[in-house]
Structure 1
Amino acid sequence: MLSLLEQIDSGTLWQSPGGIHPPQIKSLSNTRPIARLPLAQEYVIPVPQLGEQAILAVNIGDLVKKGTPLTQGQSATYLAVHSPTSGILVAVEERASNHASGLPVLSCIIQADGLDTWSLLDSHQDFQPLSNAEMLTRIQAAGIAGLGGAAFPTHIKLNPVSDIELLIINGIECEPYITSDDRLMREYSHDILTGVSIIQQLIGPKRIIFAVEDNKPDAIKAIKKALKRHPINSAQIRVTAVPTKYPSGGEKQLIQMLTGQEVPSGAIPAQLGMLVQNVGTVFAIKEAVLDGKPLIERVVTITGERATTPGNYWLPIGTPIEHVLSLSQTPKKPPQHIIIGGPMMGYILPQASAPIIKGTNCLLLPSDNEMLVEQQEKPCIRCGECAQVCPALLLPQQLFWHAQAKEYDKAASYNLQDCIECGCCSYVCPSDIPLVEYYRVAKSALREQSKDKQEADLAKQRFDARTQRLEEEKTAREAKQQQAASRRKANVTNKDNDVIAAAMARIKAKKDSSPSTQEITAENTAIAHTELAQKTDKKAQIAAALARAKAKKAQMATALNTDITSPEKAQLNANEGAITHIPVTDSPIVDKKAKIAAAVARAKAKKAQMATAQNTDITSPEKTQLNASEGSIAHIPVIDSPIVDKKAKIAAAVAKAKAKKSQMATALNTDITSPEKPQLNASEGSQRSITQTPVIDSPIVDKKAKVAAAVARAKAKKAQTTAAMQPQDRVTTENQTESSSEQTPVTDSLSIERPVLDKKAKIAAAVAKAKAKKAQAQQENKD
């Protein structure tokens, strides 16, 4: 089985589906060489015509020369536009477009100066020293686009991603009336082959096919003749005559006819290793790379029965069509319609003020005979003729229904984009339905939807980017806040640690400088021993005082030479202050005994004060026992001297009272131990009863009364002092006599409140006074 290249070398051709054979009226314009028309006064250059948006490179009022770039851009798809002649840029404004819609587009308005002066051109004698990148840059800077009608940026097409094995130069020009490529191949075949050589260096194809329709024999001869003279490797180039059939000039249809391969829907020929270039584009590549000329003019066929001088002309890009019509149409019969392109794929131009653009290859000025009578559109009869002639193997009927119902999405699902708008379906339709017009409207609607969707996607991307940016900023702020909080926490922690460490250091230093626990314990023990020694010394002093008191008592007893243990002995009761019958022999001895009793009383008072201050129970086994008969003092724990002093004062007062009583008894020199003697029964603050006492002498009775009153006052004072003491501090004193077994019952005087004791003392004093008065009265009666 032969390979594809071998089949190509052998001249094998394949049949393409569909297609029609409309009448060819090319002789009307291809009989004359390509000519030029006089310059127009004003040129309108749309910006941008193709590619990415650009910015204006000149300012209004600037003087521009022929070939000066009017725009500049950096995008890969950017295509520059240039000044078609020298003149002044007078305005940048919207003008009518060269489109079926006639919508205005932004355009540069140049007022020609008539000199047609070129700008400085960067020309080269040979392209081979140039690199591919340099050649592509020059092609892009020249603003070259496909001149076959699609107007796709050429520099992108010549820089394919995949390897190109087959290069096809399209010279078919299947559209009726159009002969611009035919005349170009005839007159500029050598330049076209030079452009093919540049493309060959750029993409390095294995085979090159120069395809020309067989109804152009002069063009085929011109190309073959140029191959013989051109240095290009003729072994790799094959000139193939393609049968005349419309639309065999379509890119995909031409590939299928030459190779038998079908380009898939949505794919491009480069994916199959093939590249197709129009002969007009190849010529423009040569002028851009070698001559440095930008694409500022092209060959345009002016034809039709209303054209006075039909033919092909070099028309600058931006030339107003009305200027062309003023030079080429019949003045008496102005055209009713101006068709841009051929009768099959062209469109009627709404306004003659629109300019020539890069994709304009024909101005058709038809007469009434050439124009079909406009027929009213009739309902589709579903004959299927449109499907049979469709070169793209589509279903025109389905596309029409969805386009008519404005169901553009469904029309797109039937591969609407693959329609090349050849017009075969409309040409054969018996119902006179302008199918191509419906398809164009549907494609335009889909483009608008795609544009809106693209803008929406861009807006969504911007919104998402903004949202992401805000989130990132928020995250960054939170991170900064966390870092700041961490730093603050670390600083606070460090400060706290420093403070704690400093405190610990101070404690440690203080601990090191202070005595140890053992030293403190030893010191405390020493202090305790010292206090104990002081207490022991104090006890020893008390014991010594008691011993001295006992010695004094013994001396007193010896001096008196009396038995003080008799029932009539003196009983000193410190708690009650009661004085029993004390036989007094001598006044000095009585005074000495009184002093001893006073000393004992002072000791008791000190003990009582000490017990009150320490809030202790002095009725414990360690309590003080005052034995008035013996004058002995038991163990007395002394705590505080002020309390002892107070009790001593009380005891002293009692002793003084007793001494006064003894003196009174001595003065009376009477036996007061008789049953009528006054008996002072001191049983814990109880009311004292005084029995009948015989009174001998009035002065004596008065003195006794005074003594009784003094005793009563002493008891009252003692009661007050005892009531002032706390109950837990009271002292119960048991007085025992040494010689008698009788005991004086003592009640707890502290159980009586102070007001009661005061009252009883007063009553006792009053009773004593009353008795004294009574005794005095009885004595006076006896006298």
Structure 2
Amino acid sequence: MKNSAIERIRQNKLWDFPGGIHPPEMKSQSNQTPIRHLALPDYFYVPVVQHSGSAGDIIVKEGDQVLKGQPLTKGNNFRQLPVHSPTSGRVMAIGEHISTNAKALPELTIVIKADGKDEWAKRNPIADYTQYDSGAIIEKIYQKGVAGLGGAVFSTSSKLNYATNRCELLIINGAECEPYITCDDRLMQDYTAELMQGIEILQHVLQPKEVVIAIEDNKPNAIQAVKFALKNTKNIQLRVIPTKYPSGASDQLVQILTGLEIPQGKRTIEMGIVMHNVGTAYAVKRAVIDDEALIERVVTLTGNRIGQKGNVWARLGTPLNHLLEQVQFEESKCFPVLIGGPLMGFSVPTLQVPVTKTVNCIIAPNVDEYSDEELERNCIRCSSCSDACPIGLLPQQLYWYSRAKDHEKAKAYNLDACIECGVCAFVCPSNIPLVQYFRDEKAEIAEIERKEQKAIEAKQRFEAREARLQKEKEEREKRIQEAADKRRETIATQQGEDPVAAALARLKAKKEQHQKVEIKAIKTTISGEPDNSELMAQRKARRLAKQQEKEQQAVTFNQEFTKTENSQTETDPRKLAVAQALARAKAKKEAQQQAATFDQEFAKTENSQAETDPRKLAVAQAIARAKAKKESQQQAVNSDQEFAKNENSQVETDPRKLAVAQAIARAKAKKESQQQAVNSDQEFAKTESSQTETEPRKLAVAQAIARAKAKKEAQQQAVTFDQEFTKNENSQAETDPRKLAVAQAIARAKAKKEAQQQAVNSDQEFAKNENSQAETDPRKLAVAQAIARAKAKKEAQQQAVNSDQEFAKIENSQAETDPRKLAVAQAIARAKAKKEAQQKENNNV
């Protein structure tokens, strides 16, 4: 194929490619004036990635002073192109900033504030590049950050390094086929000599058999300038090709010049063909000969909203709005600003994006050049897109698969071969933005492939790690085995004890001992009687020893103190008096201690008897129950008081509620009398305890008499209150049937009280008989007293319950026709429920 390409190019013949279009050129707006320079901005925004590849490492930091052309990043290979400072100044920030893409997504950017000096870094220009070999020249091109300026921005050094000794045909692309763009046209007209030097450097590096410059026939001035420069050159040919879009694409230009079609998936270098843009050739000249980094490029400023159309030298990192402000730009919210040509370019959402190596044209159209996007309609299967496609693809099918996200089908129909020239969208009668669908689908497929590649790399790392760990494990086991074998050999040689066997024997013995302890513990758990006699004996011995030590210390201290005091008292009467007072206090304390000891011994004796005497046990239980009941009664009194407060406000205007309040008052009086009896018992017990400390039998008799007396007085007070209340109620009940019912309930309660009084009397008589026997037996006396108290309290509680039930029945019969009484009944029911809940809580406690 290489020989075929050379043979065909030497035929001086042109071929054609299928498809293509002839859109309006619109180039005359900007190619009439030479390239000019504009004022520099105050701030430059330099993205660290401006080429097709990855970013290098940043080698500056915030606050650093930089010079024009100084490198800001450093790469490790040809695909990591460095970027350079476009002017002298200070690094103000390094971080995310909007970038030059369709969505202005943020990218890592270095912000430089210009100092106005525009001072170059140190340069080493050379006059004769031929004294350097290809490797040195490629390295210099790489260090200066030169990339392809035709649109793809591939690393020029990477492309040259791959094509060295393989290139047969070098093509310099000056076609510039897309409408509006004229930067290459003006570069060929204004800088023809420098362009030729760049081409000669590429020729020196690649050593091709043929060099061809291809220019479209719609650039007559550029053609004349290049022809004039080539008069004295024999190894470079100029080929003028017909105007047709997209003849400037790499594969289509090769097909025009050689008639050869680049197979799918292959590159032109595989056929011995290398292609570079005229802008790239000029940048190579400045990098190699002038030792200048790629910090600026020619940019076309065109469109009807720009007053001074033309081409300018734009420093990389300059914001678009700074360029447009200097060319009489007319701002408008209705029309966008495009970067690139109208077919392959894109609109930007903000003019703050910077100029990069990819920006070759800025278009600001108005209503005559730009119309609102027409409504997208359904595909009519006209095949216009397929007929115009210069690659020979089926855009209609790719559209369906891209829209349906059928990635496999899209790849099967060679979506990756699409050069996104926009011809299909240009000719589509349904206004379908086919290129946009294809770009989105390519992005999704690339993301999927990136994730798959990362998964493969992760799997490889995991497998490598597992293999490394397995190898380390095997090596470790091998070392252990070798050490064990060596140890055994040493032992066998010395006829000594095997340390491994000895260690195993010790472990076995320890395990057997542990098992014995566990078996013993299990047997103890099963029998339920562990043998703790030895442990208890040890504890007792320690306790006795500690007690004896304390007693000995006390005796020694007393003796020493006594000796000291006696020696001073003999000559001092005041100290003698103090000593006598201390002696009396000590004697009194000893007497109290003896009394306390007697009480403790008596309590122990009683407890020892109560354990074998069911009567004493019953007495103790009765006393505990009485105490619990007393506390519950106190809680009931408190709840009654609260209920009475709420009811009094309603009783004042209702005689029926007055009767209810009176009944509650009587119950309250009874409870208070019972509480008084309890308090009197406690006071009497306190008075008697001082006299009966040494006579427990008399103390019990005195307490029983006091309780009987207090109960009798409380009952007498209740009888007197009932009589007076009955007189008042009878006078009202004669004319009120409801009051009559209340009076009847009171009478029944009174009868029950009398019956209880009789029961109390009989109990007292029984107690007298028992007392005659209990005088000789104090235990029987205490049992009888406890039983009597419990019985009296139980009967009092039962009476309260019965009276409450009777009263509730009467009130319910009246409340059915009286809503106010119904409310009273409900309040009483709530109070009763509250009492029962408190009683349950006390029982649980």
State the TM-score bracket (shorter-chain normalisation): 0.5 to 0.7
**What are the residue-to-residue correspondences of 1:744-763 with 2, within 5 Å?**
none
Cα 1:144–1:335, aligned 2, differ >3 Å: closer, same or farther? Answer: farther
Per the alignment, residue 198 of structure 1 pairs with 201
Mapped to 1, the partners of 2:134 and 2:177 lie a distance apart of: 33
Note the C-alpha offset of 1:236. 2.3
Mapped to 2, the partners of 1:394 and 1:332 lie a distance apart of: 40
Point out the more displaced range, 478-487 or 80-89: 478-487
- Contact 1:340 1:363 (8 Å CA) reproduced: yes
Per the alignment, residue 14 of structure 2 pairs with 13
Per the alignment, residue 459 of structure 2 pairs with 460
Per the alignment, residue 171 of structure 1 pairs with 174
- Contact 1:97 1:354 (8 Å CA) reproduced: yes
Give the RMSD, CA atoms, in angstroms. 1.9
Match of 2:72 among 70, 73, 87: 70
For the pair 1:187 / 2:190, whether they are aligned, the reply is yes
Per the alignment, residue 428 of structure 1 pairs with 427
Per the alignment, residue 129 of structure 2 pairs with 127
Note the C-alpha offset of 1:76. 3.4
Q: Secondary structure at the match of 1:128?
A: helix
- Contact 1:52 1:78 (8 Å CA) reproduced: yes
Mapped to 2, the partners of 1:474 and 1:28 lie a distance apart of: 75
Mapped to 2, the partners of 1:354 and 1:72 lie a distance apart of: 24
Mapped to 2, the partners of 1:408 and 1:498 lie a distance apart of: 74
Note the C-alpha offset of 1:221. 1.1
Bigger Rg, structure 1 or 2: 1
**What are the residue-to-residue correspondences of 1:365-764 with 2, within 5 Å?**
365-496=364-495
Note the C-alpha offset of 1:333. 5.2
Give CA-to-partner distance per residue, 1:734-758, whole Å, 9 cap, x none: xxxxxxxxxxxxxxxxxxxxxxxxx
Per the alignment, residue 153 of structure 2 pairs with 151
- Contact 1:306 1:335 (8 Å CA) reproduced: no
Mapped to 2, the partners of 1:75 and 1:214 lie a distance apart of: 39
Mapped to 2, the partners of 1:3 and 1:412 lie a distance apart of: 31
Per the alignment, residue 58 of structure 2 pairs with 56
Note the C-alpha offset of 1:175. 0.5
Mapped to 1, the partners of 2:357 and 2:408 lie a distance apart of: 31
Per the alignment, residue 318 of structure 2 pairs with 319
- Contact 1:70 1:80 (8 Å CA) reproduced: yes
Q: Secondary structure at the match of 1:160?
A: helix
Give CA-to-partner distance per residue, 1:289-334, whole Å, 9 cap, x none: 1111010000000000011111000000111112112222434657
Mapped to 2, the partners of 1:282 and 1:30 lie a distance apart of: 20
Point out the more displaced range, 92-101 or 177-186: 92-101
Mapped to 2, the partners of 1:47 and 1:6 lie a distance apart of: 43
Per the alignment, residue 506 of structure 2 pairs with none
- Contact 1:164 1:275 (8 Å CA) reproduced: yes
Cα 1:493–1:53, aligned 2, differ >3 Å: closer, same or farther? Answer: farther
Mapped to 1, the partners of 2:441 and 2:328 lie a distance apart of: 35
Per the alignment, residue 513 of structure 2 pairs with none
Mapped to 1, the partners of 2:141 and 2:333 lie a distance apart of: 40
Cα 1:335–1:80, aligned 2, differ >3 Å: closer, same or farther? Answer: farther
Cα 1:423–1:329, aligned 2, differ >3 Å: closer, same or farther? Answer: farther
For the pair 1:207 / 2:206, whether they are aligned, the reply is no
Note the C-alpha offset of 1:466. 1.7
Note the C-alpha offset of 1:465. 2.2
- Contact 1:148 1:280 (8 Å CA) reproduced: yes
Give CA-to-partner distance per residue, 1:90-145, whole Å, 9 cap, x none: 00111111001211001000011111111111211111011111101111001111
Note the C-alpha offset of 1:498. 13
- Contact 1:85 1:112 (8 Å CA) reproduced: yes
Per the alignment, residue 697 of structure 1 pairs with none
Mapped to 2, the partners of 1:27 and 1:335 lie a distance apart of: 25
Cα 1:331–1:366, aligned 2, differ >3 Å: closer, same or farther? Answer: closer
Give CA-to-partner distance per residue, 1:408-441, whole Å, 9 cap, x none: 2321221111111100000000000000000010
Mapped to 1, the partners of 2:328 and 2:234 lie a distance apart of: 46
Q: Secondary structure at the match of 2:138?
A: helix
- Contact 2:420 2:435 (8 Å CA) reproduced: yes
Cα 1:497–1:334, aligned 2, differ >3 Å: closer, same or farther? Answer: closer
- Contact 2:319 2:353 (8 Å CA) reproduced: yes
Amino acid at match of 1:226: A
Q: Secondary structure at the match of 2:289?
A: helix
Q: Secondary structure at the match of 2:170?
A: strand
Amino acid at match of 1:37: L
Per the alignment, residue 338 of structure 1 pairs with 337
For the pair 1:88 / 2:87, whether they are aligned, the reply is no
Per the alignment, residue 304 of structure 2 pairs with 305
Amino acid at match of 1:386: C
Mapped to 1, the partners of 2:117 and 2:193 lie a distance apart of: 29
- Contact 2:78 2:155 (8 Å CA) reproduced: no
Amino acid at match of 2:202: I
Structure with a larger share of its residues in helix: 2
Amino acid at match of 1:68: Q
Match of 1:105 among 104, 107, 114: 107
Cα 1:345–1:296, aligned 2, differ >3 Å: closer, same or farther? Answer: same
Per the alignment, residue 257 of structure 1 pairs with 256
Mapped to 2, the partners of 1:87 and 1:424 lie a distance apart of: 44
Per the alignment, residue 604 of structure 1 pairs with none
Q: Secondary structure at the match of 1:228?
A: coil
Mapped to 1, the partners of 2:485 and 2:220 lie a distance apart of: 89
- Contact 1:9 1:238 (8 Å CA) reproduced: no
Note the C-alpha offset of 1:448. 1.2
- Contact 2:305 2:331 (8 Å CA) reproduced: no
For the pair 1:240 / 2:243, whether they are aligned, the reply is no
Per the alignment, residue 281 of structure 1 pairs with 280
Amino acid at match of 2:465: R
Mapped to 2, the partners of 1:258 and 1:93 lie a distance apart of: 46
Per the alignment, residue 638 of structure 1 pairs with none
TM-score, scaled to structure 2: 0.57
Note the C-alpha offset of 1:228. 2.2
Per the alignment, residue 36 of structure 1 pairs with 37
Mapped to 1, the partners of 2:140 and 2:47 lie a distance apart of: 21
Point out the more displaced range, 476-485 or 378-387: 476-485
Mapped to 1, the partners of 2:351 and 2:472 lie a distance apart of: 57
Q: Secondary structure at the match of 1:445?
A: helix
Mapped to 1, the partners of 2:167 and 2:358 lie a distance apart of: 26
Q: Secondary structure at the match of 2:475?
A: helix
Per the alignment, residue 46 of structure 2 pairs with 45
Note the C-alpha offset of 1:475. 1.9
Mapped to 2, the partners of 1:322 and 1:498 lie a distance apart of: 92
Report % sequence identity.
46
Note the C-alpha offset of 1:494. 2.8
Note the C-alpha offset of 1:454. 2.2
Q: Secondary structure at the match of 2:21?
A: coil
Mapped to 2, the partners of 1:335 and 1:239 lie a distance apart of: 44
Mapped to 1, the partners of 2:219 and 2:304 lie a distance apart of: 22
Mapped to 2, the partners of 1:308 and 1:417 lie a distance apart of: 40
Note the C-alpha offset of 1:4. 4.2
Give CA-to-partner distance per residue, 1:708-738, whole Å, 9 cap, x none: xxxxxxxxxxxxxxxxxxxxxxxxxxxxxxx
Note the C-alpha offset of 1:6. 4.2
For the pair 1:361 / 2:360, whether they are aligned, the reply is yes
Amino acid at match of 2:81: L
Mapped to 2, the partners of 1:280 and 1:341 lie a distance apart of: 15
Q: Secondary structure at the match of 1:124?
A: coil
Q: Secondary structure at the match of 2:130?
A: coil
Task: Work out the number of aligned pairs and report it.
Answer: 495
Mapped to 1, the partners of 2:9 and 2:38 lie a distance apart of: 42
Mapped to 2, the partners of 1:279 and 1:335 lie a distance apart of: 36
- Contact 1:335 1:365 (8 Å CA) reproduced: no
Q: Secondary structure at the match of 2:262?
A: coil
Mapped to 2, the partners of 1:165 and 1:453 lie a distance apart of: 38
Cα 1:414–1:468, aligned 2, differ >3 Å: closer, same or farther? Answer: same
- Contact 2:78 2:157 (8 Å CA) reproduced: no
